[in-house]
């Protein structure tokens, strides 16, 4: 029989179910954003009728997503019953895979952290299978710390230090780790943990974290520049991450340096910019200056890490100040290039090296000399936790649409 006005298609009767789902989703979003509140508050904020709100809240409550807090203050009539979103219905996990260590976070469904865990990688733990095993160990340790069943962890987002195809869940290259070429990390982590997973570039995650609740909150066009073991950038354009056509947008560690001979870009190796102003490069600059000054055998000085060298510059040490000014000059040139290409409103400097306040101030001073309006420069508000907060944010977005299923 043909389908027409008098014979509606089979999908027609399902519309009330879709409408009920949409109402539940709207009320759940309002409850998460504005709770605790009463059902009357939800009627006013949603524009839905009181019976519709009561019915939808009953459905949400049956799923374990609502908790009752008791009576609120009366405004003259019967005291309203207050309800709120049950953020402990489930949890999401974040992992930041660095060149030398793994950091992890467990958070409730409001994004509130409930546990942290970190470890230094041993020399034989940097291959993909070992990293997945260590990550699983960290996840279970956090659950044990908090007496949370592993089954209540609904999602995991992991950040990798390399070119990451988010759609396929594959890390294309990660030169600071061992044997990380075309690694199907999402599939490996799903198999290891049994949890739905997103994989993303670690610097992109840091940019998401700063956008959600950090130095770039509310800024639609900005670039997060990370300096630590590696050097990279997370690019936000019109409020969204820019990945590029082949997922390599922001790999600024491969930029050339003015005055240094050009070299081919080889993805299996670290880039020129990263080798000079990444943590190890800064430490090499420092050792070279100690050598020229006849201080190379001063063990206390020779063992300083990059942030400590900048601390020494802050205190007025002339050799350390030379290193800081050289680093700031190279960084300023890289940022000027980014500013000309993307014209961001803000540059956020982060990572264990990049978030140093003195480096930020010196870089900003150099950029002020530009004829074109330079972007504002800020240090990260979230520090080394930026990647984890960004990962939690992506996981929360991933589970939001599934809470009502």
- The string of DSSP letters for 362-383 reads HHHHHHTT-SS-PPEEEE-SSG
- 21 phi/psi in degrees, rounded to 5: -65, -45
Instruction: Please identify which residue in the block is written with the tokens 């500013």.
Output: 339
Q: Which residues span the domain enclosing 28? A: 17-85
Helices (H) and strands (E) in the chain, counts: 14, 16
Residue 203 shares a structural domain with residue 252: no
The per-residue pLDDT for 13 is 46
Per-residue burial over 344-367, b = 16 or more CB atoms within 10 Å of its CB, e = otherwise = bebbbbbbbbbbbebbbebbbebb
Alpha-carbon gap, residue 43 to 53, rounded angstroms:
6
Residue 22 shares a structural domain with residue 50: yes
Domain end, chosen from 85, 104, 132, is at: 85
| Closest listed residue to residue 203, CA positions, set 147, 242, 151, 145 | 242
- 56 phi/psi in degrees, rounded to 5: -70, -40
The per-residue pLDDT for 7 is 42
In a domain, 367, yes or no: yes
Residue 246 shares a structural domain with residue 308: yes
The per-residue pLDDT for 77 is 60
Residue 168 shares a structural domain with residue 107: yes
In a domain, 1, yes or no: no
- The length of the chain in residues reads 405
The one-digit pLDDT tens for each residue of the chain (405 residues) are 344 433 444 444 457 788 989 999 999 999 988 889 999 999 999 999 999 999 999 999 999 999 998 776 766 567 788 999 999 999 999 999 988 899 999 999 999 999 999 999 998 999 999 999 999 999 999 999 999 999 999 999 999 998 999 999 999 988 888 889 999 999 999 999 999 999 999 999 999 999 999 999 999 999 999 998 889 999 999 999 999 999 999 999 999 998 888 888 887 788 999 999 999 999 999 999 999 999 878 889 999 999 999 999 999 999 999 999 999 999 999 999 999 999 999 999 999 999 999 999 999 999 987 777 789 999 999 998 999 999 999 999 999 878 987
In a domain, 38, yes or no: yes
Residue 67 shares a structural domain with residue 198: no
| Closest listed residue to residue 259, CA positions, set 335, 329, 328 | 329
The per-residue pLDDT for 11 is 45
Is it true that the peptide bond before 365 is cis, omega within 30 degrees of 0? no
pTM of the full structure = 0.89
Residue 109 shares a structural domain with residue 70: no
Residue 325 shares a structural domain with residue 230: yes
């Amino acid at each position: 029989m043909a389908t027409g006005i008098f014979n509606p298609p089979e999908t027609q009767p399902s519309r009330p179910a879709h409408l009920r789902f949409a109402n539940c989703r709207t009320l759940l979003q309002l409850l998460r954003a504005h709770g605790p509140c009463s059902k009357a508050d939800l009627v006013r904020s949603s524009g839905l009728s009181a019976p519709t709100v009561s019915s939808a809240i009953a459905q949400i409550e049956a799923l374990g997503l609502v908790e009752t807090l008791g009576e609120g203050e009366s405004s003259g009539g019967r005291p309203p019953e207050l309800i709120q979103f049950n953020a402990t219905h489930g949890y999401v996990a974040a992992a930041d895979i660095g060149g030398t260590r793994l950091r992890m976070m467990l958070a409730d469904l409001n994004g509130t952290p409930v546990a942290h865990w970190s470890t230094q990688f041993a020399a034989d733990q940097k291959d993909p299978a070992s990293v997945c095993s260590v990550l699983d160990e960290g996840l279970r340790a956090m659950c044990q710390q908090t007496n949370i069943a592993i089954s209540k962890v609904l999602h995991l987002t992991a950040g990798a230090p390399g070119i990451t195809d988010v759609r396929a869940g594959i890390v294309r290259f990660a030169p600071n780790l061992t044997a990380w070429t075309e690694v199907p990390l999402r599939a490996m982590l799903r198999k290891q943990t049994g949890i739905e997973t997103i994989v993303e570039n670690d610097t992109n995650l840091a940019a998401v974290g700063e956008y959600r609740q950090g130095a770039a909150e509310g800024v639609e066009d900005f670039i997060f520049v990370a300096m630590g073991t590696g050097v990279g950038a997370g690019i936000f354009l019109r409020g969204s991450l820019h990945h590029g056509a082949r997922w390599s947008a922001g790999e600024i560690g491969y930029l050339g340096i003015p005055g240094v001979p050009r070299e081919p870009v080889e993805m299996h190796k670290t880039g020129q910019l990263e080798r000079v102003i990444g943590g190890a490069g800064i430490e090499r600059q420092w050792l070279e200056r100690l050598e020229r000054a006849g201080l190379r055998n001063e063990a206390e000085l020779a063992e300083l890490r990059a942030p400590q060298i900048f601390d020494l510059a802050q205190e007025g040490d002339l050799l350390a100040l030379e290193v800081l000014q050289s680093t700031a000059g190279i960084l300023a040139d890289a940022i000027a290039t980014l500013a000309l290409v993307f014209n961001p409103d803000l540059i956020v400097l982060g990572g264990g090296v990049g978030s140093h306040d003195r480096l930020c101030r010196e870089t900003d001073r150099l950029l002020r000399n530009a004829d074109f309006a330079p972007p504002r420069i800020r240090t990260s508000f979230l520090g080394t936790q930026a990647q984890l907060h960004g990962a939690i944010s992506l996981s929360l977005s991933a589970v939001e649409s599934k809470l009502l299923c």
